[in-house]
């Protein structure tokens, strides 16, 4: 039985993870963490997730839970994730990272931690989305330079980063397949007289509105035909199930940095 703690437990994904982890057969939920200044501290995490009381209070720091968990599932903030990675590395605790918006230094902190403990980091833990990554790579290899490629995504009004980590991962799936560098071909903003579309460009567009959980589409537009790969999430449970699946999978792995493609055998 794998003991799981959740960082970012009061957020949208955090409460979905509490629900899935509490109900999963092969894991034991032992705690959840929120910002120490949060008004959710000491609240029962089961009640917050719509499960009723389960006798586990929200805590304000990872230190309060050390010694009680084997795997940390972290959907918190970039700053907290980088700190948590160092702590997990020191303690030999496995880690699932779903936090997005990490800058270079924070990503490096996670990569460094993975030298000492198994870590699975992904922009999206949905099985369907990860299948889309694979399909996007295959489509790019087949269609190559014959098409224009555009990626669009939509999320709830409170999402703070743009484009989404999943949209960027779709772009990386394509550029890796085509031996391009995403930083060289990505276009994130269009306004005014922008001129002709560069042949190898990949355009990104984002919508922030309402309570949209997450919609992603990658479009391959050629002369006379168009191919679209779309994934729409109606709730966050699919992401939470994938993260718990990754936590279980990590239990038998050696130190290293993995992603959901590894977990699903798609890499």
pLDDT tens digits for range 73-83: 999 999 999 99
Q: Which residues contact 142 (CB under 8 A, 6 or more apart)?
A: none
At residue 144, the pLDDT reads 87
Which runs of E-coded beta strand occur in 182-264? Answer: 186-187, 202-208, 214-221, 226-233, 256-258
Which one of 22, 134, 156, 159 is the catalytic residue? 159
Q: How far is CA 177 from the centre of its chain?
A: 21
DSSP assignment letter at 50: T
What is the rounded distance in angstroms from the CA atom of residue 239 to the CA atom of residue 13?
A: 8
Q: How far is CA 255 from the centre of its chain?
A: 20
Q: Which residue has the tokens 């089961």?
A: 46
Residue-wise pLDDT tens digits, 8-28:
999 999 999 999 999 998 999
Residue-wise pLDDT tens digits, 105-151:
999 999 999 999 999 999 889 999 999 999 999 999 999 889 999 99
Residue-wise pLDDT tens digits, 142-179:
998 899 999 999 999 999 889 998 999 999 999 999 99
Mean pLDDT calculated for residue range 194-223: 95
What is the rounded distance in angstroms from the CA atom of residue 197 to the CA atom of residue 194?
A: 8
Name the segment(s) of the chain with CATH classification 3.30.360.10.
Answer: 127-233
**DSSP bridge partners of 2:** 27
Q: How far is CA 31 from the centre of its chain?
A: 20
**DSSP bridge partners of 220:** 149, 227
Known catalytic membership, residue 159: yes
Residue 59 in 3-state DSSP?
strand
Average pLDDT, the chain: 95
Nearest Cα residue to 238 out of 253, 216, 254, 255: 216
User: Kindly report the CA angle at 137 between 134 and 143, in degrees rounded to 5?
Assistant: 140
At residue 113, the pLDDT reads 98
Pair of tokens at residue 75: 């959907």
Which one of 155, 199, 200, 216 is the catalytic residue? 155
User: Could you tell me the fold of the domain covering 2-125+236-264?
Assistant: Rossmann fold (3.40.50)
Q: Which residue has the tokens 């799936």?
A: 173
Residue 98 in 3-state DSSP?
coil
Identify the band that residue 267 occupies on the pLDDT scale cut at 50, 70 and 90. confident
Percent of the chain at pLDDT > 90 equals 93
Least confident span in 74-78, 152-156, 223-227, 233-237: 233-237
Known catalytic membership, residue 134: no
Question: Is the model's pLDDT at 101 over the cut of 90?
Answer: no
At residue 145, the pLDDT reads 87
At residue 92, the pLDDT reads 96
At residue 85, the pLDDT reads 98
At residue 233, the pLDDT reads 92
Question: Is the model's pLDDT at 259 over the cut of 90?
Answer: yes
Residue-wise pLDDT tens digits, 32-51:
999 999 999 999 999 999 99
pTM score, whole prediction: 0.84
Residue 20 in 3-state DSSP?
helix
* Superfamily grouping for domain 127-233: Dihydrodipicolinate Reductase; domain 2 (3.30.360.10)
Q: Which residue has the tokens 């560098």?
A: 181
What is the rounded distance in angstroms from the CA atom of residue 129 to the CA atom of residue 126?
A: 5
Residue 46 in 3-state DSSP?
helix
């Amino acid at each position: 039985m794998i003991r799981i703690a959740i960082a970012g437990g009061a957020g949208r994904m955090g409460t979905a993870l509490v629900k899935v982890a509490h109900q999963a057969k092969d894991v034991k939920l032992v705690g959840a963490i929120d910002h120490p200044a949060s008004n959710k501290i000491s609240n029962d995490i089961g009640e917050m997730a719509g499960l009723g009381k389960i006798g586990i209070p929200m805590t304000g720091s990872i230190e309060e839970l050390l010694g009680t968990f084997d795997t940390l599932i972290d959907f918190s903030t970039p700053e907290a994730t980088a700190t948590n990675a160092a702590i997990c590395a020191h303690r030999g605790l496995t880690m699932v990272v779903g936090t997005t918006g990490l800058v270079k230094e924070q990503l490096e902190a996670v990569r460094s931690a993975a030298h000492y403990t198994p870590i699975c980091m992904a922009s999206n833990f949905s099985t369907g989305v990860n299948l889309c990554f694979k399909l996007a790579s295959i489509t790019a290899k087949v269609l190559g330079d014959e098409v224009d490629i555009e990626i669009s995504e939509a999320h709830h009004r409170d999402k703070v980063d743009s484009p989404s980590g999943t949209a960027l991962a779709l772009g990386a799936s394509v550029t890796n397949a085509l031996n391009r560098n995403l930083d060289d071909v990505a276009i994130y903003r269009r306004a005014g007289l922008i001129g002709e579309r560069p042949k190898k460009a990949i355009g990104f567009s984002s919508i922030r509105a309402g309570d949209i959980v997450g919609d992603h589409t990658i479009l391959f537009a050629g002369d006379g035909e168009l191919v679209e790969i779309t994934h729409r999430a109606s709730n966050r449970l699919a992401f939470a199930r994938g993260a718990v699946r990754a936590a279980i999978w990590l239990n038998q792995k050696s130190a290293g940095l993995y992603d959901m493609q590894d977990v699903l055998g798609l890499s």
